[in-house]
Structure 1
């Protein structure tokens, strides 16, 4: 099959494009990393069972679990039921419970597999939340469910808390209460409002520095219960400022899908571990790069990981909360699912030119695992959209 196709351009014309990338070979055995690397994984819709996809999307559990095996085989831990899985944007708490239960059970069948599960308050409508106690009860329910099934929690940022909290003290009250009763260590999650506009003003401060002090107070009060904190602000200077002040033994997990390569490598003093949505989309590349870094081969690390950064910046461009569409688009192009539909119809959140740019950048970053399949599916996608 020819690896040529015609792609539209922003000026209304089109171009002949020929693929140039080389797929990343899979490792013979599961690789070892010297960074903790969580891939935040997406869920696969089942379009044949969808009847009300905006409010009650059906999930293809077999394909969803198969994708988790793909990530485990490449050496990743999984950040389950997080925003990449469309929590609060297509996946409700009832479906998240089923996802968490299934993934924890599946992990027990895979030697060495590991995961942490997102615990939030999304069973609450922020508009109906009246008090901090409502938020506390919602967190208790979700963390209790995860721990009941043998899991560890990532304590996700709460839209409901952002709505009702009046000061940093309110965040301290909620987080100290929850962390004081968890059985396992928890990863905290600092998610910027570029990922979710409803989280504007989180931690109760008007500036980054105000928020940072609140976060450090919470961690300082609960050092024995906090494994680390994921920071997703798409600003490397902010992440370094947090990283430099974390207490010994508390880890920094980069959630910066713009600057992850440099943050994971090191600034010569410290480095970040990873909890990233982009690792869902570029898992073979990230796996090879991290294995090289662990072997002391920084040249290969940079040579493999750096070409994925322009692709990630495109996928996560504003409005950033719609990045899930690009992640699933690549899963479809690479044959991990048979269709390009998403819970809540999220595939419609981006336009044709966005997806065309992703296709080009994925090819140039060696991210298209099955070039002939990718070209065939891209041609069909373009045809559906009138190209």
Structure 2
């Protein structure tokens, strides 16, 4: 079988899909690293919705995908950026997602952590007290489900805060209130432009100092930090300054193999959106790392970086489109539809290249199915296949 794929030059070129996928076995938890995959939501393709409508979610398919991740030993980071929080999934939908996924995690023994934010604030700019109350509402819901909380960066807080002390005060209040240690999430503006200047400064050195102040004041309430700045050197420098017992979870979808492998002074755990499409392969790589074979880990995981950098290329926040495409091509869902209509957020050449890179890595359990589905997508765009 040959497929004609469009390139960025507007020309079609022949591509021969891989004949055989890589084979991965399921397995339990890892011993050397704690690894979460942020997970996407599966839209209901038959719902009569508009881009401004509340998300219509296919709950059966969404939970089935989480069981797929858990079956390979990965934890699920729920209701995060990958699940289109603030980009098609509103707070009501996120709350239902958290409840359902946390219950499913209990049923199958899966590890889960859930995003806590302020996205129920959709009206005029809120003051700090209102932002704090919104965080409290979401934190209470996550703790009620028994899931671990991830305190996500807040657009509302970024808009309301005037000084670094505003961040110290809001996060300090939440950490004192949390019943169990949480993960603090620093999401860079490449993922969400509304978060520019988070922690009170656009200067990253100044912002880092504030971030570390918050952790140092409450080290017993911080399980770890998730850094999504796409800057490996900055992450390494930051993790070396963390208090003992506070983990660094890399969110760097450009440099994750080297950060997880680590160096003589430490390593990063992982909480990554790219592990949604890479789930079985990523799990296999971490099992190799569990044996102490860092070279084997890098040999398997390093080739995936080209795909990840492609999916996360600017505008980075639209990486979810490629993630959902690959889930459809891999047979993890029956359609290529996204909440908010974001399946249209990337060009056909971008999607074609994502298919080609994923197929080259052997990510599709059934390469023929992936090729057939890719052909059907191409035909919608007028490509004669």
| TM value normalised by structure 1 | 0.97
Q: What is the alpha-carbon root mean square deviation over aligned residues? A: 1.2
Match of 1:17 in 2: 15
> CA shift at 1:130, angstroms?
3.1
**Aligned to 1:155, which of 127, 139, 151?**
151
> CA shift at 1:68, angstroms?
0.4
Asked if 1:383 corresponds to 2:379, the answer is yes
**Aligned to 2:359, which of 360, 363, 376?**
363
**Aligned to 2:64, which of 66, 75, 99?**
66
**Aligned to 1:120, which of 102, 117, 123?**
117
> CA shift at 1:219, angstroms?
0.1
Deviations 1:100-135 (A, max 9, x none): 000111111113x1100000000012x613311011
- The DSSP-based 3-state class of the residue aligned with 1:270 is coil
Match of 1:32 in 2: 30
Deviations 1:121-172 (A, max 9, x none): 00012x6133110110000000011112222210000000000101100000
Match of 2:272 in 1: 276
**Aligned to 1:236, which of 229, 232, 236?**
232
> CA shift at 1:23, angstroms?
2.0
Unaligned runs of 5+ in 1: none
> CA shift at 1:302, angstroms?
1.4
> CA shift at 1:363, angstroms?
1.5
8 A contact 2:82–2:320 mirrored in 1: yes
Match of 1:79 in 2: 77
Asked if 1:346 corresponds to 2:346, the answer is no
CA distance in structure 2 between the partners assigned to 1:49 and 1:11 by the alignment: 36
CA distance in structure 2 between the partners assigned to 1:22 and 1:237 by the alignment: 37
| TM value normalised by structure 2 | 0.97
CA distance in structure 2 between the partners assigned to 1:144 and 1:225 by the alignment: 15
Q: 1:22 to 1:211 in 2, by over 3 A?
A: farther
> CA shift at 1:31, angstroms?
5.5
CA distance in structure 2 between the partners assigned to 1:203 and 1:50 by the alignment: 40
**Aligned to 2:108, which of 110, 135, 140?**
110
Please list every run of at least 4 consecutive aligned residues from structure 1 whose deviation after the TM superposition is greater than 4 angstroms.
none
> CA shift at 1:32, angstroms?
2.8
- The DSSP-based 3-state class of the residue aligned with 1:229 is strand
Deviations 1:185-227 (A, max 9, x none): 1000000000000000000023111011000000001101000
